[in-house]
Structures are given as C-alpha cells and as structure tokens.
Amino acid sequence: MPKKAKKKTVVRREYTRADVNGLRAHSKAKTPVVKIAKLTKRSVGSLRQKALKLGIRLGATGARADAARLADNVIMQRRKII
C-alpha cells in the first residue's frame, strides 16, 4: 500500500518595517517584481498584495514596460528565423 504524501506547511512571515522600506525603494527604482520576489524570498502575489495595501506600484509599468516587452518579442522572433 503506497504511503500518503505529507502536506506542505505554509510559512507566513510578517512584513517588517525594513521590508516595507525596501519595497518602497524597489518601487521607485522600478525593479521587476520577479527580481524583488527572489531577493525577498516572497511570492509575486504576496508582494503585489502588500504594494496594493501600501498604495504603491511595483515593477516597470506603462510605456517603458510595453517597449521592453516589444523588444523582447522582436528578439525572440529573430531567433526563430535564424
């Protein structure tokens, strides 16, 4: 008879004052959310929820982000052609 899989326990960490200050700094610097998530060891969803509660934006937004995505798409298309 196969063994039952153990459930993974969820570890919740509260945001410290330093975490919030760091999040605000990353917001001003327009650091990509994925990069912030790796640095802080928190999920992208967690960071976005906290930013929403703080009333700040995360990551590159607006025309600059659209231009970066467009450039990435062009590069990927060129790689497929070559």
Q: Is the model's pLDDT at 61 over the cut of 70?
A: no
pLDDT in tens, 48-57: 999 999 999 9
Q: What is the pTM of this model?
A: 0.63
Q: What is the spatial distance between Cα 24 and Cα 43, in angstroms, rounded to a whole number?
A: 17
Min mean pLDDT across 7-11, 23-27, 32-36 is at 7-11
Number of alpha carbons in the 13 Å side-chain half-sphere of residue 60: 11
Q: What is the spatial distance between Cα 49 and Cα 37, in angstroms, rounded to a whole number?
A: 12
Average pLDDT, the chain: 84
